């Protein structure tokens, strides 16, 4: 599903590489935690998977595609296979829950008919049934993140990328979000989640990939957060 082969990424204005010779192989259907302190290269890792960045050296394969050879005009079609969730939710404040989800489908050319069917379905899945017509401001943080997950999942992605999805949420709410991500994972969607949340990583006992100053320092099946190297 995801294959990084000796990937290094150095940003223009910086001497130290954000990622340094990282090789890792993530299988389809896996749930992977990406951990590491701030500046360890987690965000760069995720941006490479989205082809928001290109590696300086090495190759990145996602869903069978060599991203460094993927022409610019094919990037949108590639991204339709990937769902994204962020710490700050990134919802449109002037659109309701249903409109936010429909927006992502509209702009990727989904038919009205299909949108009308999919939106209630994903609302039900993420537990927002009955709140379709609320505005994001009228929802709690956890509910807003559920909207964002519903939007990311509406396209039925094969890969879900979550960048600290529980970073703004209290522990109780975070557990609810993690249960939801786990359910999505069990539908067959690969999930890659960057996080600082030790409790979650320790509870879930999934594969852990740890980065430290751009280097891959740990890749452990059923790992915990605090494992010292």
Partner 1 sequence: MHPRFVLQEILTGLRRNVTMTVAVVVTVMISLTLLGASMLTTRIANRMHQKYFNQLEVAVYLRNDVTQAQRETLNQQLSDDPRVEQVAYVSKEEAYEKFKEEFIDSPDLIQSISGPNVLPESFQVKLRDPKQYEDVASKYGQAPGVDQVYDPQRALQPLFDLLDGVKTVARIVALVAGAAALLTTFNTIRLAAFSRRREIGIMRLVGAGNFTIQLPFVLEGVIAGLLGAASAVGLLALFKSWILDNTLKTFFNTGVVPNAQWSEVWSVAPWLAGLGILVAAAASYITSLVYVRV
Contact 67, 61 (CB under 8 A): yes
Minimum CB–partner distance for residue 105 and partner 1 (Å): 8
**Phi, psi dihedrals of residue 153, rounded to the nearest 5°:** -90, -15
Alpha-helical segments (H) within the chain: 42-49, 75-79, 97-106, 112-126, 141-154, 171-186, 198-204
Q: Are strands 159-163 and 82-86 parallel, antiparallel or unpaired?
A: parallel
Segment interacting with partner 1 (CB under 8 A) among 23-31, 40-48, 148-156, 203-211: 148-156
Q: Is 135 in the site for partner 1 (CB under 8 A)?
A: no
63: left (phi over 0), alpha (psi -120 to 50) or beta: left
Task: Identify whether the C-beta of residue 192 lies closer than 8 Å to the C-beta of residue 2.
Answer: yes
**Shortest separation between residue 216's beta carbon and partner 1, angstroms:** 26
Instruction: State the nearest-atom distance from the C-beta of 160 to partner 1, in Å.
Output: 12
Q: Which residue has the tokens 């935690």?
A: 33
Q: What x-and-dash track marks residues 57-76 binding partner 1 by CB under 8 A?
A: ---------------xx-xx
- What is the smallest separation between the CB atom of 76 and partner 1, expressed in angstroms? 4
- Cβ neighbours of 214 (radius 10 Å): 22
Minimum CB separation of residue 229 from partner 1 in Å reads 33
Instruction: Read off the DSSP letter of residue 164.
Output: S
Task: Tell me which of 146, 151, 206, 207 binds partner 1, using CB under 8 A.
Answer: 151
Cβ neighbours, 10 Å, residue 198: 12
- 51 is an interface residue for partner 1 by CB under 8 A: yes
* # residues contacting partner 1 (CB under 8 A): 27
Among 27, 66, 106, 121, binds partner 1 (CB under 8 A): 106
- Using the contact rule CB under 8 A, the part of the chain among 10-18, 98-106, 131-139, 164-172 near partner 1 is 98-106
Contact flag: residue 90 with partner 1 (CB under 8 A): yes
Residue found by looking up tokens 């050319």 in the block: 109
Q: Which of 92, 116, 117, 221 binds partner 1 (CB under 8 A)?
A: 92
DSSP 65-90: EETTTS-GGGHHHHHTTEEEEETT--
Q: Is 103 in the site for partner 1 (CB under 8 A)?
A: yes
Residue 78 is a binding residue for partner 1 (CB under 8 A): yes
| Residue from 24, 50, 199, 224 in contact with partner 1 (CB under 8 A) | 50
The residue ranges that bind partner 1 (CB under 8 A) are 50-52, 72-73, 75-82, 84, 90, 92, 94, 103-104, 106-109, 112, 151-152, 155
């Amino acid at each position: 599903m995801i294959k990084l082969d000796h990937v290094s990424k150095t940003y223009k204005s910086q001497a130290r590489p954000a990622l340094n010779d990282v090789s890792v192989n993530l299988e389809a259907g896996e749930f992977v935690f990406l951990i590491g302190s701030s500046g360890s290269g987690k965000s760069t890792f995720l941006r490479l998977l989205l082809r928001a960045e290109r590696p300086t050296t090495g190759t990145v394969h996602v869903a069978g595609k060599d991203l460094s050879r993927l022409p610019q005009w094919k990037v949108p079609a590639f991204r339709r296979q990937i769902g994204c969730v962020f710490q700050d939710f990134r919802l449109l404040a002037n659109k309701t829950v249903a409109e936010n989800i429909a927006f992502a489908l509209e702009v990727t050319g989904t038919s009205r008919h299909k949108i009308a069917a999919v939106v209630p379905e994903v609302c039900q899945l993420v537990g927002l049934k009955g709140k379709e017509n609320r505005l994001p401001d009228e929802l709690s943080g956890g509910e807003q993140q559920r909207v964002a997950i519903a939007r990311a999942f509406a396209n039925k992605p094969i890969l879900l990328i979550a960048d600290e999805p529980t970073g703004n949420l209290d522990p109780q709410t975070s557990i609810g979000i993690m249960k939801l991500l786990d359910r999505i994972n069990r539908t067959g969607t690969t999930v890659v989640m960057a996080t600082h949340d030790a409790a979650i990583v320790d509870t879930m006992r999934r594969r852990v990939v740890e980065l430290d100053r751009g280097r891959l320092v740990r890749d452990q099946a059923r790992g915990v957060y605090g494992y010292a190297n």
